[in-house]
Structure 1
Amino acid sequence: MEFSLFYFSGDGSTTSSDKYRLLIEGAKFADRHKFAAVWIPERHFDAFGGLYPNPAVTGAAIAMITEHIQIRSGSVVMPLQNPLRVAEEWAVVDNLSQGRVGLSFAPGWHPNDFVLFPEKYTDKKEIMWRDIQVVQQLWQGEAIALTGGNGKSVNISTFPRPLQPQVPIWITSLSDETFIDAGKIGANILTSPLYQSLEEILRKVTLYRQSLAQHGHDPQSGKVAMMIHTFIDNDMDTVRHKVREPFKNYLKTHFDLVVKSAGDLRFSIDPKTMTAQDLDDLLDFSFETYFNGKVLMGTPAYCQAMIDNLRQAGVDEVAALIDFGVEFDWVMKSLDLLKDIKNNIAS
Structure 2
Amino acid sequence: MSAGQGGPMKVGLNFLPTVGPAEMSAERFYDEIIELCELADELSFAHVKLVEHHFHEWGGYSPDPVALLSAIARRTRRVRLVTGAVTPAFNHPVRLAASLSVLDNLSHGRLDVGFGRGFLPSEFEAFGVALEDSRALLEENVELIEQLWTQDNFRWNGRFHTLGPLPAMLPRPVQQPAPPVFIAATTSPETFTWAASHGYNLMVMPVVASHQRLTELLDLYRKTRAECGHSPDFRLHVSYHAYVAENHAEAVERAERHYEAYRSKQLEAYGSWRGVTSQLYPGYERMEQAARRTTTADLMAADNIIIGGVPEVRTTLRRIGELYPGAELSLQLRFGSVSHAEAMRAVRLLGEQVLPDLVEAE
Fold similarity call, TM over 0.5: yes
1:200 partner letter = R
1:249 pairs with 246, 255, 261, which one? Answer: 261
Distance 1:237-1:86 versus aligned 2 partners, 3 A rule: same
In the alignment, the residues of structure 2 paired with residue 229 and residue 111 of structure 1 have an alpha-carbon distance, to the nearest angstrom, of 24
| Structure 1: gaps (5+ residues) | 261-265, 272-278
1:323 partner letter = R
Aligned twin of 2:182: 170
Secondary structure in 2 matching 1:19: helix
Q: State which drifts further: 129-138 or 299-308.
A: 299-308
Distance 1:321-1:311 versus aligned 2 partners, 3 A rule: same
Alignment of 1:271-282 (within 5 A): none
Is structure 2 residue 66 aligned with structure 1 residue 56?
yes
Contact 1:3 1:319 in 2 (8 A): yes
In the alignment, the residues of structure 1 paired with residue 181 and residue 83 of structure 2 have an alpha-carbon distance, to the nearest angstrom, of 10
2:297 partner letter = E
In the alignment, the residues of structure 2 paired with residue 283 and residue 328 of structure 1 have an alpha-carbon distance, to the nearest angstrom, of 26
TM-score (norm 1): 0.86
In the alignment, the residues of structure 1 paired with residue 313 and residue 215 of structure 2 have an alpha-carbon distance, to the nearest angstrom, of 19
1:295-333 deviation digits (Å, cap 9, x = unpaired): 111122222232223222225111001111212222211
1:95 pairs with 105, 115, 136, which one? Answer: 105
TM-score (norm 2): 0.83
Distance 1:258-1:93 versus aligned 2 partners, 3 A rule: closer
Aligned twin of 1:286: 295
Q: State which drifts further: 155-164 or 127-136.
A: 155-164
1:110 partner letter = L
Aligned twin of 2:220: 207
CA shift at 1:153, angstroms?
5.4
Distance 1:126-1:162 versus aligned 2 partners, 3 A rule: same
Aligned twin of 1:229: 241
In the alignment, the residues of structure 2 paired with residue 310 and residue 180 of structure 1 have an alpha-carbon distance, to the nearest angstrom, of 24
Contact 2:144 2:156 in 1 (8 A): no
1:183 partner letter = A
2:29 pairs with 2, 14, 19, which one? Answer: 19
CA shift at 1:172, angstroms?
0.5
% identity of equivalent residues: 23
Secondary structure in 1 matching 2:89: helix
Contact 1:171 1:187 in 2 (8 A): yes
CA RMSD of aligned residues (A): 2.7
In the alignment, the residues of structure 2 paired with residue 298 and residue 39 of structure 1 have an alpha-carbon distance, to the nearest angstrom, of 23
1:3 partner letter = V
CA shift at 1:152, angstroms?
9.8
Q: How many residues are matched? A: 328
Alignment of 1:1-347 (within 5 A): 1-13=9-21, 14-16=23-25, 17-145=27-155, 154-165=165-176, 166-175=178-187, 176-219=189-232, 221-255=233-267, 286-292=295-301, 293-315=303-325, 316-324=327-335, 325-339=337-351, 340-347=353-360
CA shift at 1:255, angstroms?
0.7
CA shift at 1:15, angstroms?
4.4
1:97-147 deviation digits (Å, cap 9, x = unpaired): 111111111111112112354344212101101111111111124442269
In the alignment, the residues of structure 2 paired with residue 103 and residue 58 of structure 1 have an alpha-carbon distance, to the nearest angstrom, of 14
In the alignment, the residues of structure 1 paired with residue 248 and residue 13 of structure 2 have an alpha-carbon distance, to the nearest angstrom, of 22
1:287 partner letter = T
